[in-house]
Amino acid sequence: MPLSPLRSSSFSSLANIVALAVFLLLLTAPTSSAQLSNNFYSKTCPNVFNTVKAVVKSAVAKEPRIGASILRLFFHDCFVDGCDGSLLLDDTPSLLGEKTAAANNNSVRGFEVIDGIKSRVEKLCPGVVSCADILTIASRDSVVLLGGPFWKVKVGRRDSRTANFSAANSGVIPPPTSNLTNLIKTFEAQGLSAKDMVALSGAHTIGKARCASFRDHIYNGSNIERRFALARQRKCPRTSGTGDNNLAVLDLRTSKHFDNNYFKNLLKKKGLLNSDQVLFNGGSTDSLVRTYSQNNKVFDSDFVTAMIKMGDNKPLTGSRGEIRKNCRRVN
């Protein structure tokens, strides 16, 4: 049945209003990652991905743990005011950076590799690629080089002109003594679900922790396998302040390989940190841990989803922030 001119025009004006409303909503909605894309540098720095990968590859070949350290830098950057490279800034007389906040002090590492990447990328395309993006790409490459899954990295982040020590020190990065409630809460504060949190915790399939981070758990934990605790106690003295920096692998079997062994350890109550073992301790995340321990593909896929989501966290885009020349200093 043909529509009358009146009906047709009122229909289309209604459609126009709806379309306009949707358009305005999209413009104003807090889609913080709106301007991130896979091809942000395809015209301005087409070789950035190969360049980053080459530097990470030689660093990981020299020391596999450095891949773990870089991945952790990305997490600690993204959880404090978004993925904006703020963690990379050194302290100056006028800027108290994030490097000495409780979760980072004497613990975060890998900055020299980021510097090395930055100087190569600056030679290739001066003033184009942010430190925040370099850290994002280098984290993905670290996972891949250690045998984990590949994914396409979204880029287009810019670098902060500030850092925030008190924010970094305020508990937004959860401590290793955290209970499950606190882990879920701190991740939800960043727009990440409990499922994202469990998948991302699987990053502890690589790298190491200091005695100071797991002392309480191995001496006082009730949810730890006895012989495992005793073995870890041999290189981590009970007295706080002694041997604080002694290291132990987070995944006792394959700490240089990105796999789902971390979750298998949890089923045996061999998680190194309290925050690891609470993921499998009779609570709401037990079934997810069991799933990941049995199915590496599901773990990989959920880990990738969560990494992309974490990387979307409040980036500086457009004309906000800057492209630092040196990742340790504002321009």
Ligand X SMILES: *[C@@H]1O[C@H](CO)[C@@H](O)[C@H](O)[C@H]1NC(C)=O
Q: Residue ranges for the binding site?
A: 77, 80, 82, 84, 86, 98, 174, 204-205, 251, 254, 259
Q: Are 184 and 194 in contact (CB under 8 A)?
A: yes
Annotated binding site for heme b: 204
Q: Are 160 and 86 in contact (CB under 8 A)?
A: yes
Distance, CA of 109 to chain centre? 14
Please say which residue, 232 or 328, places its beta carbon nearer to ligand X: 232
217 catalytically annotated: no
Find the binder of ligand HEM among 176, 311, 315, 321 (CB under 6 A). Answer: 176
- In the shown chain, the binding pattern of residues 127 to 166 toward ligand HEM, with x for contact by CB under 6 A and - for none, equals ----------------------------------------
Find the binder of ligand HEM among 48, 49, 60, 65 (CB under 6 A). Answer: 65
Please say which residue, 31 or 162, places its beta carbon nearer to ligand X: 162
CA atoms of 30 and 25, how far apart (whole Å): 9
CA atoms of 123 and 214, how far apart (whole Å): 42
Q: Is 9 in the site for ligand X (CB under 6 A)?
A: no
Closest contact distance (angstroms) between CB of 234 and ligand X is: 14
Find the binder of ligand HEM among 57, 109, 314, 325 (CB under 6 A). Answer: 109
Q: Is 170 in the site for ligand X (CB under 6 A)?
A: yes
**Per-residue DSSP letters for 76-118?**
HHHTTTSSSSGGGPPPBTTB--STTSTTTTTT---HHHHHHHH
Closest contact distance (angstroms) between CB of 88 and ligand X is: 17
Q: Is 72 in the site for ligand X (CB under 6 A)?
A: no
Place of tokens 């979760």: 103
CA atoms of 171 and 186, how far apart (whole Å): 8
Q: What are residue 92's DSSP bridge partners? A: 95
Could you say which of ligand HEM, ligand X, none residue 166 binds, taking C-beta under 5 to 8 angstroms by partner kind?
ligand X
CA atoms of 77 and 84, how far apart (whole Å): 7
Find the binder of ligand X among 166, 284, 287, 294 (CB under 6 A). Answer: 166
Place of tokens 């209604």: 14
Distance, CA of 225 to chain centre? 29
Question: What contacts 151, CB < 8 A, 6 or more positions away?
Answer: 140, 304, 307, 308
Q: Are 179 and 190 in contact (CB under 8 A)?
A: no
Q: Is 167 in the site for ligand X (CB under 6 A)?
A: yes
Find the binder of ligand HEM among 200, 224, 288, 316 (CB under 6 A). Answer: 200
The maximal CA–CA distance of the chain, rounded, in angstroms, is 87
Question: What contacts 110, CB < 8 A, 6 or more positions away?
Answer: 66, 69, 70, 72, 73
Report the residue closest to ligand X, judged by CB.
Answer: 167
Closest contact distance (angstroms) between CB of 52 and ligand HEM is: 18
Q: Which stretch binds ligand HEM (CB under 6 A): 61-69, 152-160, 218-226, 227-235?
A: 61-69
**Given 76, 157, 232, 270, which residue is catalytic?**
76
Q: Which residues bind ligand HEM (CB under 6 A)?
A: 65, 68-69, 71-72, 75, 107, 109, 174, 176, 178, 183, 197, 200-201, 203-204, 206-210, 213, 250, 273, 275
Catalogue the active-site residues. Answer: 76
